[in-house]
Amino acid sequence: MATSTAAAAISSAPPPKRAVKQLPAPNSDFYQLVDVLTAEEKATVKKVRTYMETKVQPIINKYWISG
């Protein structure tokens, strides 16, 4: 009988807390295509990325929600 009481006490105990794992940074170049671009093409990618991060990202949610 003592065994069943001990098992009941263990099963009702909350599970131990786990450390929160950090997600990896998003990688938009999953296939690593930038590695095969020329310097000029890489500059264009950088220019487009900068535009998207500064002009589009701040307002995109408004349009995504209302769309």
* pLDDT digit string, tens, across residues 36-47: 999 999 999 999
CB 60 within 8 A of CB 51: no
* pLDDT digit string, tens, across residues 7-64: 555 667 777 888 888 988 888 888 999 999 999 999 999 999 999 999 999 999 988 8
pTM metric for this prediction: 0.56
Task: In the chain, count H helices and then E strands.
Answer: 3, 0
SS3 track for 16-30: CCCCCCCCCCCCCCC
Distances, alpha carbon 11 to alpha carbons 6, 18, 19, in Å: 9, 18, 21
Supply the pLDDT for residue 16. Answer: 81
N-terminal to C-terminal alpha carbon distance within the chain: 63
